[in-house]
Chain A
Amino acid sequence: MKPILEVENLKMYYSTKLGYVKAVDGISFVLNEGESLGLVGESGCGKTTTSMAIMRLLAENAEILSGHIYFKGKDLLKLNNEEMNKVRWAGISMIFQAAMNSLNPVYKVGDQIIEAIITHEPNVTFEEARERVVNLYKLVGLDPKRIDNYPHEYSGGMKQRAIIAMSLSCNPDMIIADEPTTALDVIVQDMILKEMSRIQKKLNMSMIYISHDIAVIAEVAEKIGIMYAGKLVELSDSVTIFKRPAHPYTIGLMSSFPSVKGEKKELVTIPGEPPNLLNAPDSCRFAPRCPFATKECLEKEPPYEEIEPNHFIACFHPQNLRKQVNEYAKG
């Protein structure tokens, strides 16, 4: 498998009057062609900031202190604005959080997608673009007759489908979907997730799904990265993450999630709250909430290492943890 996106030691801080907010603090991961990666974490853990850094759509006070983002071998952080514009939409496109509310209410939905196509590919004529929209509508399961409707005539699920169609309009190699189903009802969410997985496999596209919901990620992603307070704390294939999690935060997340399937297990709570990232200390950020933290964890930062093939973790005690953790999860 060929890597399509390589993020290396990316550090992105927001500079404020009070100091640096360490929103993304030294994360690294590789996404291969045709692969789907899920980034999971709580609000403020840096998952959206990571994707905004990849798209280079950062706020003015954001500073990238170090790191590289290689997309097909090119470092995106070294491109000028014009070159970057060519990567956006045609190379990497993004489905933003609550994107279905971002459709312009006074333009027809189809015209908005045509506009996106013509802006990025000036050689395409209006008729060709319209033809492409018809095909995209069929691909995402929308009736092509609806092209000339306005957004208010669409239901929530239909708007989300239109947004997916728009993200596919310039044949990108990779899509970042930030909470693509969060505002939708379960039945619609289920249909949209199925549709996205199907399209991803059909077009052999690379995907990054961002969500706070591990159940959603479990259904769509082959690889899962768990983020906590600006750090990537664990990364592996989805089965390993769910069956043999090694980081205490991952274990906590897994056992605090209610499910409708299987036995009704006692839910485990993670004590405390995520830390403030303003001038965050260089120690393990989960240590204050971690039941297994030692003195070392409060003083030094655990390195992000591969503890077994394709299983990365940032924790000082992953090996001897496993036994304790099983007991902890059992109660």
Chain B
Amino acid sequence: MPKVEMANATDVVLKVENLKKFFPVRKGVFSRAKSFLHAVDDISFEIKRGEVLALVGESGCGKTTTGKTLVKLYEPTGGKIKFLDRDVTDLRSDVDKKWFHSKSQMIFQDPFESLNPRKTIFDIVSEPMNIQNKGNLKYREEKTMEILKRVGISPPNAFLWRYPHELSGGQRQRVAIARALVMNPEFVVADEPTSMLDVSIRTQVMKLMMDLISDMNMSFLYITHDFAVARYMSDYISVMYLGKMVEYGKTEEIIQNPLHPYTKALISSVPVPDPEFKRKSIQIKGGIGKAIDPLPRCRFYDRCLLAMDICAKKEPPLLDVGSGHKVACFLYDKKEK
């Protein structure tokens, strides 16, 4: 694996090394798992303080699994997760777990499913403080009002005792954001937080998140399938394909100058809101499959129009092709060419 270069160690909030998450594929209820779905297969990256990394890819590429593994909703199969210079791959004691979960949070895709319908807005937003035993009731109420106001639910005292079904989709997602941020986390995973929202509401929520990220100086992993949204939300983009990270770089660099054939095809397929623009999409073959016991070769081999012999023999490593732009493709590997 290529070494991720070390920046100022205190600046790095999250460092992921060779992260793997496999799911067993069982044929019957009682049979032993003989094969494994490689949902996340050996990926490494780091996120610095105040930085937003967008994880982009098609459905089934492992982006949500990566996010869930990073906030420890899944236990990783292999690799290391370092958070604030501590190894959090295996958290055994309750004290450690509480510490970790107070500093890392997740915002889910569908605000219609992620909020408990039987709880009031106050219960939902103050629950993290309950679990963490933070402050007394008065403090929790004040803190809840403060964060609700910050996410644009105003006046907050009019909403405290309402239930999720009384809120619109945009308001619900704001509540979900408030719940994630009430403990001032250092690291937040947001899994397609705007994909269920309407266009005019989506921009509001995107802007709110951008403001919050810079105000609270958080590190963000923003999971999305939409390059246009990623362009506005992130500092860096990482493109995933069947559990592998195929390209990584600064956001504008990836948008303007994608290198991997898959990234090129993806970006060229995004519809452009301009009827006079004649978009030329780059064709690829077939559809996305599943990485069940994949062969040791490029995962994109079957669909790539530029595939060479070497692509069927080895897995391409993620290599730096200059100024931090990394790509996992033999076309850019000078040694192999």
Beta-carbon contacts under 8 Å, A116-158 to B: 155, 157
- A257 contacts B170, C-beta separation under 8 Å: no
- A218 contacts B198, C-beta separation under 8 Å: no
Bound Cα distance A325, B206 (Å): 23
Q: Give the interface residue-count category, chain A.
A: 35 or more
- Please judge, given known A-B contacts A157-B287, A242-B273, whether A259 and B228 are in contact too, CB under 8 Å: yes
Q: State whether the Cβ of A256 lies closer than 8 Å to any Cβ in chain B.
A: yes
Q: State whether the Cβ of A19 lies closer than 8 Å to any Cβ in chain B.
A: no
B58's partner among A187, A219, A257 (CB-CB below 8 A) is A187
Inter-chain contacts of A270 with B (CB < 8 A): 200, 203-204
Bound Cα distance A214, B275 (Å): 10
- A264 contacts B231, C-beta separation under 8 Å: yes
Q: Give the interface residue-count category, chain B.
A: 35 or more
Q: State the Cβ distance, A321 to closest chain B Cβ, in Å.
A: 18
Stretch at the interface among A2-10, A23-31, A188-196: A188-196
Inter-chain contacts of A301 with B (CB < 8 A): none
- A218 contacts B273, C-beta separation under 8 Å: yes
Inter-chain contacts of B288 with A (CB < 8 A): 185
- A187 contacts B265, C-beta separation under 8 Å: yes
Bound Cα distance A213, B277 (Å): 16
B168's partner among A193, A239, A273 (CB-CB below 8 A) is A273
Inter-chain contacts of B287 with A (CB < 8 A): 155, 157, 188
- A259 contacts B203, C-beta separation under 8 Å: no
- A187 contacts B203, C-beta separation under 8 Å: no
Q: State whether the Cβ of A167 lies closer than 8 Å to any Cβ in chain B.
A: no
- A259 contacts B272, C-beta separation under 8 Å: yes
Bound Cα distance A268, B202 (Å): 11
Inter-chain contacts of A212 with B (CB < 8 A): 198-199
Q: State whether the Cβ of A203 lies closer than 8 Å to any Cβ in chain B.
A: no
Bound Cα distance A43, B198 (Å): 7
Beta-carbon contacts under 8 Å, A240-287 to B: 241-243, 252-254, 256-262, 264, 267-271, 273-274
Inter-chain contacts of B267 with A (CB < 8 A): 260
Inter-chain contacts of A241 with B (CB < 8 A): 275
Inter-chain contacts of B225 with A (CB < 8 A): 185-186
Q: State whether the Cβ of B227 lies closer than 8 Å to any Cβ in chain A.
A: yes
Bound Cα distance A12, B229 (Å): 35
Inter-chain contacts of B231 with A (CB < 8 A): 258, 260, 264
Residues on A close to B: CB < 8 A?
Answer: 42-43, 155, 157, 185-190, 193-194, 212-216, 218-219, 238-239, 241-243, 252-254, 256-262, 264, 267-271, 273-274
A and B contact pairs by CB, cutoff 8 A, 26 listed: A185-B59, A186-B270, A188-B287, A190-B269, A190-B271, A193-B271, A212-B198, A218-B271, A219-B275, A238-B275, A242-B276, A252-B200, A254-B273, A256-B202, A256-B203, A257-B228, A258-B232, A260-B228, A260-B272, A261-B274, A261-B277, A269-B203, A269-B204, A271-B204, A273-B201, A274-B198
